[in-house]
Copies of this chain bind each other. A is one copy, B any other.
Amino acid sequence: MRPEPRLIEVRRNVLKQNDVVARALRDRFHRARVFVVSLVSSPGSGKTAFLEKVLTVLGAGHCVAALVGDLATENDARRLARSQAPVKQITTGTLCHLEAAMVQTALEGWDLSRLDFLFIENVGNLVCPSSYDLGEDLRLVLMSVTEGEDKPLKYPTIFNSADAAIITKLDLASAVEFSWETAYRNIQAVRPGMQIFRLSAKTGDGMKECLDFLQIRQTEMRQPATP
């Protein structure tokens, strides 16, 4: 059955090549002391709505910027640019995920040392982005209450590759009879100890906790390593 050995071999090479570029990116981000956060989720889970709020609030006191990946359209970049933060769209065509080389190309001409935070919004896809390191410091996986509590069990790889989870569209939880207990149990079954946030980008509920978390992590990253 598929995939046959030759395709596996080629995929391994692509991943290896991606890892080399991702490592170079990570070094560059660390030298520039910019904290890099990537966002992964299904299509329509609310990555852009979350990022709109994050850029606006964090942008008031920090230098923030974003890259947004989509197969087609510049819609998300236009939406996010309203926050006044520098935003660049990466259009992938038919490719279902971002790769480190695309991030590298998109950053050409940017002075990263002027930034405190860089956000990278991946293509909406709960499978393929999990395999591609983008050099980020933190990977956030979002899932909306409307998708159902079973998604961590059905898409374990992406939950495993992420550092924290945000359950979005909190305002719709009652309407869809969302069980927080089941969702938490499913996330913990796949990734024990994973930190989980609840958020409604629409009402603002849970936004402060997410922002505090990002700022604490950014501050920790900027501190010199203890001897």
Contacts and interface: CB of A to CB of B under 8 A. Distances in A.
A151 B1 contact: no
A15 B59 CA distance: 45
A72 interface: yes
Interface stretch (A2-10, A31-39, A80-88, A212-220): A2-10
Nearest to A10: B10
Interface string A1-24: 111101100100010011000000
Nearest to A99: B2
Nearest to A146: B146
Contacts of A155: 43, 71-72, 124
Within the oligomer, what is the number of copies of this chain? Answer: 2
Contact of A70 (B17, B102, B105, B154): B154
Interface stretch (A169-177, A191-199, A203-211): A169-177
Contacts of A60: none
Contacts of A127: 71, 94, 96, 123, 125, 128
Contacts of A70: 154
Interface of A: 1-4, 6-7, 10, 14, 17-18, 42-44, 70-73, 75, 94-96, 99, 101-102, 105, 123-128, 131, 143-144, 146-148, 150-151, 153-157, 169, 171-172, 175-176
